[in-house]
Each structure stands twice: as C-alpha cells, then as structure tokens.
C-alpha cells in the first residue's frame, strides 16, 4: 500500500483525537496558574542600560614616586594629614644636583663672579663721583683708623652736600674730628678737608675735573674693570681645576666634564660682558659731563 493512501486513512483519526484533548488549564491547573501570574516584561526592560565609566586608579603611580629618592611630597589635603601630590624634578634640576664627592659647583662660582662685579660697582662710585653732581657716596669707601682697626666713615660722621659742589662732614663727637680728617686726607681721592665755625663739621671741596683729569679718571675706571675681569678669569681657572679633580676621582665622566666646562665658559663670558658694559657706562658719564 502506498504512503499516500496510509496518510489519507490516518489523518481523520488524528484530527478527531486533537479535538477531544482537554485544554492546558484542565489538564494541569497549577501550571496554568503559574503561567498566568508571571509578569510580562515591558518593552523598556529590553533597552540596554549604560554604565558609568570609571578612571583607572593612579595610586600605584603615586606609590612609585614615593619610593623614588627624588620624590618631594606636597602638603596633605585629605583626612589624617595624607601626603599630597609629588613634584617631579625636571631634567635641568637633576643635572644641577651635586653628586656625592663632587667639587665643581657652578652656582657657587657664579656667585664669586658676581661678588667681583659688586666690588667693582662700589669702587667706581669714587671715580664717577668726581664729575657731575657731587654725591655723599664719594666718601663711602673712606675708612677711619681706630685702636680696633679701620672702620667706615659713616660710623663717625654724616655726609651731606653743601652748595652743590662741596661735601659737609659732620662728626658725631669732637674726639672723632681728628681721625676723620686724617682718613679723608689718606684716601686716594686727593681731597683736602677744611675746618668750619662748627667744631664738629668739616668742609670738603670737590673740584670739578678738567679734560686731563677726566681722561685720568677713565684710565682709573679701566684699571678697576680689568681687575674685575682678572678676578672672573681666576674663578674660571678654579672651576676648571675642580672639574679635573672630579674626573680624576671618577665622580663624573669625560662627557659630563665637557658639559660642565661649557657651562663654566658661558658664565665667564656673560660676567665679562657685564663688566664691559659697566665700563662703557662709566666712560660715558666721565667724558660727557
């Protein structure tokens, strides 16, 4: 018998059996109750939720800075006095740090050069003060002889300008008149103090410099500036010796020594140029007045 004939005979019987089968509620009441009471998901429940992104903690990096010798903790901002953010040193700051046993110190050498320039400025006051308007600073370098040694003139008398061309030196005590007079005479200013009606006061005429005198003052200024240049070059020589000792002591290598030497040469050129500028300014004042 063919399969088509079999299906035609069985299909009506299956249809009658399906019509007679009980519904789900009657066959299994518990299952039907559970299915009806279960909440149906709303369409909104299928929308994906966006989660907030969080940044990675930087605590391990901070701990790494604390373990470094070059880490510097800032002031605490949290509870319990917690340490603040660290300060990272720049490359230049790391290079400027002194190595153990290193003798070369550029900042100290630069200060020594600057001290030479400061002394030059003070010395030039006496030279430039000889022309133009008379200034009390002309006697700043005068030292008075005492049993304890030479002391500044300002400790024994006050200096003012009288009539725009003379200096008036007023001693604090009568006992100081004689040593103050001797100190002014002994100074390289070639000044001659004169007594006045006031026993405590000395009149010091400051003659105006003629052309020959101005030229001499320019030569004096040049000599003072040359002494400052020599002092600066001597500091450079001392620095070179320190660099050599550091290399011989295996504190730094030859490459580092060349770098330190270049910095020293640059500082020397800068300070020498400053001396040249000071001389040009002084010469202009001396010759234009």
Phi/psi for 62 (5° steps) reads: -65, -40
Q: What pLDDT score does 17 carry?
A: 58
Q: What is the mean pLDDT of residues 231-260?
A: 92
Do residues 141 and 187 make contact, with C-beta atoms less than 8 angstroms apart? yes
The CATH homologous superfamily to which domain 106-114+210-288 belongs is: Ribosome-recycling factor (1.10.132.20)
Q: What pLDDT score does 83 carry?
A: 53
pLDDT at 266 over 90: yes
pLDDT tens digits, 63-111: 443 444 444 444 444 444 445 555 665 555 545 555 666 788 999 999 9
pLDDT at 115 over 80: yes
Domain ranges of the chain: 106-114+210-288, 133-205
75-to-63, 68, 84, 102 alpha-carbon distances in Å: 16, 18, 5, 32
Q: What is the mean pLDDT of residues 166-186?
A: 93
Same fold, 106-114+210-288 and 133-205: no
Q: What is the mean pLDDT of residues 149-166?
A: 90
Do residues 275 and 225 make contact, with C-beta atoms less than 8 angstroms apart? yes
Q: What pLDDT score does 23 carry?
A: 53
- The architecture in CATH of the region 133-205 reads 2-Layer Sandwich (3.30)
Question: pTM higher than 0.85, yes or no?
Answer: no
CA separation for the pair 109, 232 (Å, rounded) = 9
Does 93 or 116 have the greater pLDDT score? 116
Percent of the chain with pLDDT over 70: 64
Average pLDDT, the chain: 76
| Strands of 147-217, DSSP E | 149-152, 157-162, 166-171, 194-195, 201-205
Q: CB burial class (10 A; 0-12, 13-18, 19+) of residue 153?
A: buried
pLDDT tens digits, 195-206: 999 999 999 998
pLDDT class of 145 with cuts at 50, 70, 90: very high
pLDDT tens digits, 201-230: 999 998 877 788 889 989 999 999 999 999
CA separation for the pair 239, 46 (Å, rounded) = 79
pLDDT class of 10 with cuts at 50, 70, 90: low
CA separation for the pair 288, 193 (Å, rounded) = 28
């Amino acid at each position: 018998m063919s399969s088509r004939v079999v299906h035609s005979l069985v299909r009506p019987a299956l249809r009658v059996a399906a019509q007679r089968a009980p519904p789900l509620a009657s066959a299994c009441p518990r299952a039907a109750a559970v299915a009806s009471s279960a909440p149906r998901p709303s369409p909104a429940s299928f929308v994906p939720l966006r989660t907030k992104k969080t940044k990675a903690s930087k605590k391990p990096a901070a701990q790494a800075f604390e373990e470094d010798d070059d880490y510097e903790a800032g002031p605490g901002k949290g509870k319990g006095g917690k340490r603040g953010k660290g300060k990272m040193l720049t490359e230049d700051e790391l290079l400027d740090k002194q190595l153990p046993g290193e003798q070369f110190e550029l900042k100290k050498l630069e200060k020594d050069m600057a001290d030479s320039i400061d002394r030059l400025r003070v010395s030039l006051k006496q030279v430039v003060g000889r022309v133009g308007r008379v200034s009390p600073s002309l006697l700043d370098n005068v030292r008075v002889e005492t049993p304890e040694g030479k002391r500044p003139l300002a400790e024994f008398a006050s200096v003012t300008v009288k009539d725009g061309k003379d200096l008036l030196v007023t001693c604090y005590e009568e006992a100081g008149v004689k040593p103050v007079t001797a100190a002014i005479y002994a100074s390289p200013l070639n000044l001659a103090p004169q007594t006045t009606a006031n026993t405590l006061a000395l009149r010091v005429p400051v003659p105006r410099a003629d052309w020959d005198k101005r030229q001499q003052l320019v030569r004096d200024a040049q000599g003072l500036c040359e002494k400052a240049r020599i002092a600066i070059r001597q500091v450079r020589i001392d620095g070179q010796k320190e660099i050599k000792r550091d290399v011989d002591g295996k504190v730094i290598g030859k490459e580092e020594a060349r770098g330190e030497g270049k910095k020293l040469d640059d500082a020397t050129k800068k300070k020498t140029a400053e001396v040249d500028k000071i001389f040009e300014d002084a010469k202009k004042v001396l010759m234009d007045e």
